[in-house]
Each structure stands twice: as C-alpha cells, then as structure tokens.
Amino acid sequence: MRPFSPPWWAKNPHVQTILPVLTKVESPALSRQRLELSDGDFIDLDWLGDPCNASSIVVILHGLEGSSDSHYVRRLLRDCYRSGLCAVVHHHRGCSGEANRLARSYHSGDTQDISATLAYLQQHFPQAKLNAVGYSLGGNVLAKYLGELHDNSAIDRAVVVSAPLQLSACAKRLEKGFSTLYQWHLIKQLRQKATDKFNNRTIVNQAAITLKQVCTLKTFYQFDHQVTAPLHGFEGADDYYAKASGLGYLSKINRPTLVIHAADDPFMNADVIPSASQFSADVTYELHQHGGHVGFIDGGTLFKPRFYLEQRIIHFLTINNEHIEPSESLN
C-alpha cells in the first residue's frame, strides 16, 4: 500500500486534527448490545455485521469522550463494511450516550473493562480471531492490555493510533499554546459528566471534591488529581500517570502490533516516542512528521479529505505484510 504523504494544505497539525471532525462520513447501521459487569455497572457494544458467522472481529476502542459516532470510528466502520469485516465498538463506561451507574468511570490505564469485553467475545464467538484497534486513550489502554497479558492476550493483532503513551508529558503539552483549546473542549465534557453524577447523587459519597470545586478544574492534571485518581484507586495524578501510561508495556507485547504516531501531534510531545529498545520485536512502529492527532489526511480536498489510517489499519490486520516505512519518518 502507499506510504503516508499529506498534501501541502494538510501539513498543519491543527488542520489534520480538526478537519476530520468537520467532515464526518456516514456510518453503516449498527446494533447495540449491553454487557452487564461483575461490579454492577455496564458497558455498551455497537456491532457491525454478524459475529456468529465471522472468522474475525475487529474490536474498536475509542478515545477520551469518544464513541461509535467519533469521526475516526465512523471511517473505520465504513471501511470494515466495505471489506466485509465484522466489527464491534467497545464503549468506555458512560460514553455510549447513557451515564454509567457507579461513581467510577473509565481512565487511560483501565484494562479491566476491555478484558471483560474480550472474554465475552471469546466465550460466545470462539471461531473468530480477535483483532483490535485503539485510538488515543483507547490506544493507551490497548497497549497496556497487550503488555500486561503477554501470552494470555485474547487479541491476535492490534493497531494503536495516536496514543498518549506517556500521560504526564501529554497533560503538560495540553497546557501550552493552541493545544489548550483541545484541553478546554475535553475538560468541559468531563466536568459536565462529573456534575451530572453529583446531581444524580452517584458520586457524592466517594468524591474527593465538592460540586462547586468541579467547576474550577481547568487542566487535565487538576481533573485527574481531584477526580480521576481518587475515584479509581490512585494516590494522585502523578501516581495515576505513572501506573497507567502505556509506554513501559510496549517491550512486553508479543502479538503483532502496529503503533502509529505523528511527531506534530498537538496532544503530545517527544516523550511519547519510544526508542527502539522500548518496544518488542512484535511491535511495528511508525512515526510520521505530520498527521496531527488521529488525523493522517493524505489527499482529497478540504471538503472531502482522504485518509491514510483506515487503509493502513485494515492492511495490517488482514495481511501478513512486511513493514512499511513511513515516507516522512524522523530519524
């Protein structure tokens, strides 16, 4: 397949990051299934195709505050449909359009819920190989899962896209320059979810802060220190970032895994880029000079951009392909 090479008008990282949101493609029809979890909560799965007759299933993990409606998920579902592939979107808790039942939510290092989904798939569709694609936060979760499980991984092949593999560095990056706008947009959504839980009294007895204090949280570090960490058993944001970051797990992965980063990703900096000694022989690493955050526009027009990601993902998951060198690798 062709290497990634962005057109001149899409070399700006913010064009790569924002334009895909504004040019969403139509998604094929999906069917929803609810999985009840052992702790009394639930997660929702959105299905494309019939898993009972599938030889493989593409399991999709979306990013922070994403869903099956996210632009990148829509595009992958569309191309899976065109390729005749069965796929399922694993929604993180509270991301499927309905608030989850418990005070806890989801976080960048939470491999418990994806493990539950994969166990369900293995039990009910044993004939199907499980391939996985994780975007951004979902990519960090996927990398951590693969490294934690080693030989016991339920996944056969995986692709990790624009993952914040060093969470502390990414939190700092989002406090600078134009990237603060992305932080503001996402923090606003997270604060609203926390506020809703206070109003529904889901979180009142377990929160480390008050409802009034939620409105003062303006950065990821503040939110993770005051909300994410205490609700999920971490001592604070620093403890959460250290334990949940996926970078240290790349060397333990023993399933064919493709990791794709852009050096100009406005959500992260060079600290997320692994050295050759930090990933195993089963990891194929692609670092592109351009691409933004979950962008990778490589052609088309402003009103109808063409993307590299879906073709690369499906190629990697379905073909025992040789390594493809990025056309704009950084040495």
Q: With helix as H, strand as E and coil as C, how does 45-93 read? A: EEEECCHHHCCEEEEEECCCCCCCCCHHHHHHHHHHHHHCCEEEEECCC
Which residues form the catalytic set?
Answer: 136, 265, 293
What is the reported pLDDT for 199?
Answer: 85
Q: How much is the pTM?
A: 0.94
Q: Residue 204 has what pLDDT? A: 62
Instruction: Give the C-alpha separation, 210 to 124, whole Å.
Output: 43
**Please, what are the averages of pLDDT over each run of 10 residues along the chain (331 residues)?**
92 98 96 97 98 97 98 98 97 96 95 98 98 98 97 96 98 96 97 89 74 93 95 96 98 97 97 95 97 97 96 90 44 31
In the 8-state DSSP scheme, what is residue 235? S
Domains and CATH numbers, the chain: 8-165+249-318 (3.40.50.1820), 167-244 (no CATH)
pLDDT, position 294: 98
Describe the strand order of the beta sheet including 31-36 as a list of residue ranges: 31-36, 42-48, 86-90, 56-61, 129-135, 157-161, 257-262, 283-288
